[in-house]
């Protein structure tokens, strides 16, 4: 994460206790944890319907209530010919959930494109190692 500008904030005791515990568990400084929390909070306010979840590759933007990452929605949307087709391919997502994912991508395309590229690299490596893994068309 890029260095930010220092600011001074007051945090209540219970919140500070939880932040300290997060810092301990993640081996980060309190400042790093607070910076990450503020960044995610700003992004969630900017894009309602998006939350952040932990996974093997770190924290990522996820469509709230679905367990589906934004990058997955965008990757599928790239092969769909229309919004209607996208809704048919991802029937577990409501229209507001699709809107949330598309809005997040419009706001943070570099982040989502990076996740898509990482997934493509992993898929290519897996396909080389196993003849049983294939790409599925929508």
pLDDT tens sequence across 66-81: 999 999 999 999 999 9
Three-state SS annotation for the chain: CCCCCCCCCCCCHHHHHHHHHHHHHHCCCHHHHHHHHHHHHHHHHHCCCEEEEEECCEEEEEECCCCCEHHHHHHHHCCCCCHHHHHHHCCCCCHHHHHHHHHHHHHCHHHHHHHHHHHHHHHHHHHHHCCCCCCCCC
pTM equals: 0.83
* Architecture of the domain defined by 48-132: Orthogonal Bundle (1.10)
Tens of pLDDT, residue by residue over 15-49, are 999 999 999 999 999 999 999 999 999 999 999 99
Domain ranges of the chain: 13-46, 48-132
């Amino acid at each position: 994460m890029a260095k930010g500008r220092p600011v001074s904030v007051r945090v209540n005791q219970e919140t500070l206790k939880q932040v300290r515990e997060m810092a301990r568990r993640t081996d980060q400084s309190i400042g790093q944890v607070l910076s990450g929390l503020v960044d995610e909070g700003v992004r969630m306010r900017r894009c309602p319907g998006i939350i952040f979840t932990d996974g093997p590759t770190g924290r990522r933007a996820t469509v709230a209530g679905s367990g589906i990452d934004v990058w997955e929605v965008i990757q599928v949307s790239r092969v769909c010919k229309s919004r209607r087709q996208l809704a048919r391919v991802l029937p577990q997502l409501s229209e507001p959930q699709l809107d949330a994912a598309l809005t997040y991508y419009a706001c943070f395309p570099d982040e989502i494109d990076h996740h898509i590229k990482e997934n493509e690299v992993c898929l290519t490596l897996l396909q080389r190692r196993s003849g049983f893994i294939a790409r599925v068309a929508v």
